Amino acid sequence: MLNVFLTVIRRDLLVAFRRRAELMNPVLFYVIVTTLFPLGVSPDVHFLSQLAPGLVWVTTLLAALISVESIFRQDFEDGSIEQLFLSPHPISLLIFGKVVAHWLITGVPMLGIVPLMALLLHIPGQALPVLWVTILLGTPILSLVGAIGAALTAGLRGGGMLLGMLVLPLYIPVLIFASSAVSASMDGLAVSGQLAMLGAGLILALILAPFAISASLRISMG
């Protein structure tokens, strides 16, 4: 089972790296929006530090939404999804491998550029570890939940708008708890409650999302 799981991840990573332009879009969006915001609104240090937690997480949410549509689109068009369902291996395991590959492509680069974003938005140093942890806990939830919507709209042409309508309301709790944790850490307050909620959401998504994605793909194929 582990070999099959790793094979799915490796296959999706290879496919993604062959489309480098599309691969870089979410990260470039993340960097450009965060970089241009101080230029377009105000370079004031206090103003930026107050808005930084919400800005970073709204940008993260939108970058995830941009990329999540591509999880199943190519596989649905070339018939690879049908081959997954014909495989003797559990479909939920194969689907989970595809979502993990998506997170490695989109979530891990965001973790890498968090220090740069913190520097540009004047986030205090004591809040940087909390910001990093919220990205680490929150982005897998965005990938798992977004994959459910991507599976439901995989067979639709121009399903991006419908995908946004389906997924954005489910993203809101992640946005609230993650930005609240960063804001609290900047003020020197406890953040254990917000991080616990993000951790619980991640565990719940890891358990339930693969089965929900599989069922959604069956609906799209039918």
**pLDDT at 220 exceeding the cut of 80:** no
Residue 32, class by beta-carbon neighbours within 10 Å (0-12 exposed, 13-18 middle, 19+ buried)?
Answer: exposed
Q: Are the C-beta atoms of residues 76 and 220 closer than 8 Å to each other? A: yes
* Single-letter code of the amino acid located at 144: L
> For position 86, what pLDDT does the model report?
81
Q: What is the pLDDT of residues 102-122, one digit of tens each?
A: 899 888 888 888 878 888 888
**pLDDT at 63 exceeding the cut of 70:** yes
Segment 53-78 shows an average pLDDT of: 83
Segment 181-208 shows an average pLDDT of: 92
54 vs 73 pLDDT, higher one: 54
Q: Are the C-beta atoms of residues 107 and 169 closer than 8 Å to each other? A: no
Provide the sign of the torsion angle of the four alpha carbons 72, 173, 110, 133, taken in this order.
Answer: negative
What's the predicted TM-score (pTM) here? 0.89
- Tell me the two tokens of residue 171: 């993203």
How would residue 100 be classed by pLDDT, with cut points 50, 70 and 90?
Answer: very high
Average pLDDT score over the chain: 85
pLDDT more than 90, % of the chain: 26
Q: What is the 3-state secondary structure (H, E, C) of 1-24?
A: CHHHHHHHHHHHHHHHHCCHHHHH
Distance, in Å, from the CA atom of 119 to the CA atom of 38, rounded to the nearest integer, reads 12
**pLDDT at 159 exceeding the cut of 70:** no
User: Please, what is the Cα angle at 89 between 84 and 90, to 5 degrees?
Assistant: 85
Segment 42-58 shows an average pLDDT of: 82
> For position 21, what pLDDT does the model report?
65
Distance, in Å, from the CA atom of 37 to the CA atom of 31, rounded to the nearest integer, reads 10
